[in-house]
């Protein structure tokens, strides 16, 4: 019979397992020629991997061999310099290595009581980000899983505040009372990220999608019209600081100025693009973000952290805590203190200390290295946009503001883009999936990885000739 504590004891078997895992991790982290790789059909994966889960186990050596030779090659390497689709991830070597430390250290990041050191380090990063974005020193928040959860949590806090204000107003107007809005509403750009609509469905509120300009920018006059039309039912306006499809920044300053005449919570969704505020080249695009009531930025995108991490920051963290603190008898020890517990600031409870890899990388390299890397991506995007405009068979859809470059191959239909994209991946040349805008299929480079070069991109363009 197997000893019940076999999986947890330090033994010769455990030592061998740890050595296998750390050897693989070291080799992967220090590899300079990791293949791009590609997915396999389910039946092929099942055939190659075989059955790995049973009563007896297959052993660590065989399990890691299956991962290394079958499972990992069926996953596209998101840190490859020619991964140019969606929004890539390019964790720094320090951040990726320290993610191993986070897992090995048995840390819990949900409460100050259990993880004070980890929370302190995460909060230092959050304070640094808040200062970079011009928020007051009292601003703070939490690292959550991703932008979708960050946007949802911010909007939940915004609605909780409006509901409290609405309740207090109606009580003050008794016995006549006040009219409650028929539905709560969020105003955002028609080009806002899909997570805003997803959050609205979860919250059972309506989205007022406001048309952006031809350049993709949501401006104050369009927002003002929506606020005037929908009145007090609007509890939040979401402005985008770097749209996913084009990397466009909304008129943050103009929208923020509307708060002088309208009562709303301003949330800035900067999951992809807000990191570019760190670059002196693009900082001016984000004027007005300092007036946000909340914002998100994803370190696993342009801040070079591993999946998964989104920094959610509140101007007044107490409003987030009031909206999200969970109450239960077994949690009284945590909730009856004034300690800063990250679980109180978003729609979650259990959490890993996912901000630590970014902390370690920032502490290791310094903020200047981040500014330089982000600036390099912006410059490369502008340079390849110039090249696209020079090529007679290509059309640039919009000039890039940040690191996303969208263009069309003249005369191509969707089937042509699909076939081209498949050829690139099958040949391990690049990962560039088609996108679309206003019903027209296009190609799109999301330039984020500092190892991506102009030569990489021009070689891809050459395949479209």
Considering the domain architecture, whether residues 325 and 222 belong to the same structural domain is answered as yes
Task: For residues 130 and 148, state if they share a domain.
Answer: yes
Q: How many domains does the chain have?
A: 3
Number of residues that this document lists for the chain: 465
pLDDT score at 68: 97
Cα separation, 461 vs 391, in Å, equals 9
Residue 423: CB atoms within 10 Å:
12
Is 91 domain-assigned? no
Same domain flag for 392 and 361: no
- 85: in domain: no
Q: State whether residue 431 is helix, strand or coil.
A: strand
This prediction has a pTM of 0.95
Give the residue among 401, 101, 358 at the shortest CA–CA distance from 241. Answer: 401
Choose the final residue of a domain: 331, 365, 399. 365
Cα dihedral 153/157/163/168 (nearest 10): 160
Helix-, strand-, coil-residue percentages of the chain, each rounded to 5: 45, 15, 40
Q: Are 256 and 135 within one domain?
A: yes
CB burial class (10 A; 0-12, 13-18, 19+) of residue 227?
buried
Whether residue 283 sits in one domain with residue 197: yes
146 and 240 fall within a common domain: yes
Cα–Cα distance for residue pair 452/49, rounded to 1 Å? 33
The pLDDT value recorded for residue 128 is 98
- The per-residue pLDDT for 329 is 58
Q: Of 365, 380, 414, which one is at a domain's C-terminal end?
A: 365
Of 75, 91, 117, which residue sits at a domain end?
Answer: 75
Q: Are 224 and 349 part of one and the same domain?
A: yes
Reported as type and span, the H/E element at residue 462 is helix 454-462
User: Looking at the domain assignment, is residue 86 inside a domain?
Assistant: no
CA distance 37 to 93: 20
**What is the pLDDT, as a whole number, of residue 98?**
98
275 and 324 share a domain? yes
Pair 375, 295 in one domain:
no
Whether residue 404 is found in the same domain as residue 356? no
Say whether both 271 and 413 belong to one domain. no
What's residue 51's pLDDT? 96
Q: Residue 399 belongs to a domain with what CATH number? A: 3.90.1150.170
Which residues in the chain show pLDDT less than 50? none
Does residue 432 contact residue 421 with C-beta atoms inside 8 Å? Answer: yes
Q: DSSP for 208-262, please give it.
A: EEEPP-TTS---HHHHHHHHHHHGGGEEEEEEEBS-TTT-PBP-HHHHHHGGGTS
CATH assignment of the domain containing 234 = 3.40.640.10
Helix (H, G, I), strand (E, B) or coil at 313: strand
- Whether 89 is covered by a domain: the verdict is no
- Are residues 137 and 190 part of one domain? yes
**Per-residue confidence (pLDDT) for residue 318, from 0 to 100:** 96
Tell me, yes or no, whether 94 lies in a domain: no
CB 307 within 8 A of CB 300: yes
Residue 96 in domain: no
HSE of 44, CA atoms in CB hemisphere, 13 A:
8
**Spatial distance between the Cα atoms of 117 and 340, rounded to a whole number of angstroms:** 12
Helix axes 12-29, 93-104, angle to 10 degrees: 160
CA distance readout (Å), 9 to 25, 65, 320, 382: 22, 23, 41, 55
Structural domain contains residue 80: no
* Domain around 66: 1-75
**404-409 and 394-398 beta bridge pairing:** antiparallel
Q: Is residue 83 in a domain?
A: no
């Amino acid at each position: 019979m197997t000893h019940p504590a076999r999986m947890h004891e330090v033994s010769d078997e455990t030592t061998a397992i740890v050595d296998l895992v750390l050897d693989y991790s070291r080799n992967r982290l220090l590899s300079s020629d990791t293949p791009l790789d590609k997915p396999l059909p389910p039946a092929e994966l099942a055939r190659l991997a075989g059955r790995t889960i049973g009563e007896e186990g297959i052993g660590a050596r065989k399990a890691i061999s299956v991962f290394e030779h079958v499972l990992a090659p069926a996953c596209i390497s998101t840190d490859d310099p020619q991964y140019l689709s969606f929004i890539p991830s390019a964790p720094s070597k320090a951040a990726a290595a320290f993610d191993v430390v986070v897992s090995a250290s048995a840390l819990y990041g949900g409460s100050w009581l259990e993880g004070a050191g980890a929370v302190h380090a995460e909060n230092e990063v959050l304070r640094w980000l808040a200062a970079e974005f011009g928020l007051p020193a009292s601003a703070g928040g939490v690292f959550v899983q991703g932008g979708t959860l960050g946007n949802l949590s911010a909007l939940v806090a915004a609605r909780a505040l409006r509901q409290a204000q609405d309740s207090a107003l109606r009580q003050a107007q008794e016995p006549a009372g006040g009219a409650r809005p028929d539905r709560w509403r969020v105003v955002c750009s028609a080009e806002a990220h899909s997570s805003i609509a997803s959050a609205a469905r979860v919250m059972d509120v309506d989205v007022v999608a406001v048309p952006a300009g031809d350049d993709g920018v949501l401006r104050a006059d369009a927002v003002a019209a929506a606020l005037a039309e929908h009145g007090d039912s609007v509890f939040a306006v979401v402005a985008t600081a770097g749209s996913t499809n084009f990397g466009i920044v909304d008129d943050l300053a103009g929208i923020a100025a509307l708060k002088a005449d309208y009562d709303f919570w301003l949330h800035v969704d900067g999951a992809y693009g807000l990191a570019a505020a760190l670059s002196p080249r693009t900082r001016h695009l984000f004027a007005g973000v300092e007036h946000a009531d909340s914002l998100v930025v994803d370190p696993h995108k342009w801040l070079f952290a591993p999946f998964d991490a989104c920094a959610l920051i509140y101007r007044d963290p107490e409003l987030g805590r009031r909206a999200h603190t969970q109450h239960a008898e077994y949690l009284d020890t945590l909730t009856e203190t004034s300690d800063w517990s990250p679980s109180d600031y978003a729609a979650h409870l259990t959490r890993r200390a996912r901000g630590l890899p970014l902390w370690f990388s920032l502490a290791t390299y310094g903020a200047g290295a981040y500014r330089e890397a982000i600036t390099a991506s912006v410059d490369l995007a502008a340079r390849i946009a110039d090249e696209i405009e020079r090529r007679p068979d290509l059309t640039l859809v919009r000039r890039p503001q940040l690191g996303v470059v969208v263009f069309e191959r003249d005369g191509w239909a969707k089937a042509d883009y699909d076939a081209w994209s498949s050829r690139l991946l099958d040949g391990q040349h690049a990962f560039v999936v088609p996108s679309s805008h206003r019903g027209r299929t296009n190609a799109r480079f999301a330039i984020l990885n500092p190892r991506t070069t102009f030569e990489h991109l021009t070689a891809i363009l050459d395949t479209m000739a």
